[in-house]
A and B are shown apart, each in its own frame.
Chain A
Amino acid sequence: MRAVNHNQHAVEKILARAAGRASVFAGQIVECQVDLAEVNDLYLQTIRSFHDMGGKRVRHPDRITFILDHYAPAATIQQAENQKQMRQFCREQDIHQLFDVGAGVCHQVMVDEGLVYPGMVLVATDSHTTTHGAFGAFGTGVGATDLAVIMRTGQLWFRVPEVVRIELNGTIQRGVFAKDIILYIIGNLGADYAIYKVVEFCGEVLKDLSISERMALCNMTTEMGAKASYIQPDKRTFDFLRHKVNVDYHVFESDPDYRYSTDLSYDVSQIEPQLSAPHSVDNVAPIHRFEGLSVDQAYLGSCTGGRTEDVGIAARILDGRKIHSRTRFIVVPASKDVYLESMAQGYIDILVRAGATIVTPGCAACLGTHAGILTAGEVCISSTNRNFPGRMGHTGAQIYLGSPAAVAASALEGKITNPVRYLNGD
């Protein structure tokens, strides 16, 4: 029998607690109780699989949430039918945590609603569940049938991951954001660098990074293949969660002698605004390589780059100005709360007057399922997370991923634009 592991990472401690074990080690297969399981409206199959596996009553209805974010609201009969069946299921199963169309993108909604907290195991039918590592949670994505297993049994098997440590030092330059930093890192390491692993961020840069920016970092780790991400909760985390979360959570800390699978560090002072060019997320280069390229659509939204801070930076750049006549600017607040806050701050007013189109909080065109689709030959700059062929519509469209600031500056000029020149003031 293996001895208790005294050199555990915080993530290992989270999984150990959830698995009812004293300790776990990398590579081990464990069955974990899941604190929160989320289903979004792409996955009616979850309900079908649940029934196919003999499910009658969901084991823990209070640990399930359904968030209707991809078809917000339904734009086809099929979408409407799928959502109808989900609502019905929630009613039948006493699943009260149903966030219907307009609530927003699942990951943002869960944070807004105080459902995310340190030390929890959060599983969702979405790959960007890694976002919640920003709060010291173990957040990971699965498919429909795995989620059905959780509904049926309350738990799911996981292979305990190794952890990659990424230390961020230096000072972020003006006009540079978390999105630029993570794009730089993904471009540097490659799309499969962190397969099956957790990516942990630490270092002096984090201290001053807002929660919104931390979420952007953690969200994008999926694009390096990460299973989950992790940022050790600190005062900023606790201040953020104080009035949101009602749960008595436990904050785990990594043992000082824990051995990371790799230790990397980056001096962010050297990083300038980046873009990820078609057609893979790791195809990253400084924005100046692409400046001047005409843009048909600028898109600001998603769990990656659609928060109030993101809408706010766009408003700052576009205040009193109008976007270029050849460019459509689609703005999708990531949630109802983001929408309300953006309205209260006057951002929506500024953006609409500048020529932006505001879309219902949700996933919209981020993955080509809803409002803001591209056709062949169109060029789009987006604050979202993927640029694979066909990601936002036609396989012949070209998607460049960048920071919300770069998206707004490009909408203004009608071509790919380094936002720094619009952020030099104050």
Chain B
Amino acid sequence: MKKTVKGRAFVFGHNLDTDQIYPGRYLELTDAEDVGQHAMEGVDPEFVHKFEAGDIIVGGRNFGCGSSREQAAYTLKVRQVGAILAESFARIFYRNAINLGLTVLLCPDISQHVADGDVLTVDCATGRVINERTAQNLQAEALSEYVIKIIESGGITSLIKKEYEGG
């Protein structure tokens, strides 16, 4: 797990659902490169041309709601999202993101303190977020031990592989 992440914020509204993060018609695709082509296409078809590795996604309440499609988390992983910060997460998206080793942090009221394009520095271990433009410090909820263990293993797949080796 990266200790610190620094990148530009891409801000989305409340209840951003997984149909918009990864539209249904692409669900038959399975290879990373193909899946990565369609990140956020439902809400912003230009996203994949603007977003750079290490940039940060900022959401409002209930980020990732709707369908359980893991592709919604996977496509963001392929785009090398630095971290995903939101006021709250839909549970299946949260689990999927953690399982893939993504840094997802709950940050109350973040929508009010971050604008599109702001450069953020995120301390993944403590949850401290610094907005370079406003010089503001925000505090995200620190990740639980259980979740840190998964992320630090690079995702649940590596963790389970290790734990169940030979069984």
Which residues of A come within 8 Å of B, CB atoms? 29, 42-45, 48-49, 52-54, 70-71, 76, 78-79, 82, 125-127, 141-146, 148-149, 152-153, 157, 191-192, 195-196, 225, 227, 280, 367-369, 373, 386, 388-391, 393, 395
B128 close to chain A: CB less than 8 A? no
B25 close to chain A: CB less than 8 A? yes
Distance in angstroms between the alpha carbons of A143 and B27 in the assembled complex: 13
B23 close to chain A: CB less than 8 A? yes
Determine if A78 and B19 form an interchain contact, defined as CB atoms under 8 angstroms apart: no
Tally A-B pairs: CB < 8 A.
128
What residues of A have a CB within 8 angstroms of the CB of B24 in the complex?
Answer: 367-369, 390-391
What residues of B have a CB within 8 angstroms of the CB of A42 in the complex?
Answer: 27-28, 69
What residues of A have a CB within 8 angstroms of the CB of B103 in the complex?
Answer: none
Determine if A367 and B19 form an interchain contact, defined as CB atoms under 8 angstroms apart: yes
B131 close to chain A: CB less than 8 A? no
Which listed residue (A54, A280, A395) contacts B161, Cβ 8 A? Answer: A54
What residues of B have a CB within 8 angstroms of the CB of A144 in the complex?
Answer: 70
Interface centre among B61, B68, B70, B95 (most CB of A within 10 A): B68
Determine if A195 and B62 form an interchain contact, defined as CB atoms under 8 angstroms apart: yes
Distance in angstroms between the alpha carbons of A13 and B43 in the assembled complex: 41
What residues of B have a CB within 8 angstroms of the CB of A225 in the complex?
Answer: 62, 65, 90-91
Distance in angstroms between the alpha carbons of A53 and B154 in the assembled complex: 12
Chain B: interface size category: 35 or more
Contact residues of A: prevailing secondary structure: loop
* 5 closest A-B pairs by CB: A143-B70, A368-B24, A192-B62, A143-B96, A53-B160
User: Which residue of chain B has the shortest Cβ distance to A145 in the bound complex?
Assistant: B99
Determine if B61 and A143 form an interchain contact, defined as CB atoms under 8 angstroms apart: no
What residues of B have a CB within 8 angstroms of the CB of A391 in the complex?
Answer: 19, 24
Determine if A157 and B20 form an interchain contact, defined as CB atoms under 8 angstroms apart: no
Which listed residue (B42, B67, B100) contacts A145, Cβ 8 A? Answer: B100
A422 vs chain B, min Cβ distance (A)? 32
Distance in angstroms between the alpha carbons of A225 and B65 in the assembled complex: 7
Given contacts A192-B62, A195-B91, A153 and B160 within 8 Å (CB-CB): yes
What residues of B have a CB within 8 angstroms of the CB of A141 in the complex?
Answer: 68, 92
Interface centre among A192, A227, A389 (most CB of B within 10 A): A192
Distance in angstroms between the alpha carbons of A388 and B43 in the assembled complex: 10
Distance in angstroms between the alpha carbons of A125 and B72 in the assembled complex: 13
Which listed residue (B19, B70, B161) contacts A389, Cβ 8 A? Answer: B19
What residues of A have a CB within 8 angstroms of the CB of B14 in the complex?
Answer: 192
B136 close to chain A: CB less than 8 A? no
Determine if B100 and A126 form an interchain contact, defined as CB atoms under 8 angstroms apart: no
What residues of B have a CB within 8 angstroms of the CB of A126 in the complex?
Answer: 67-68
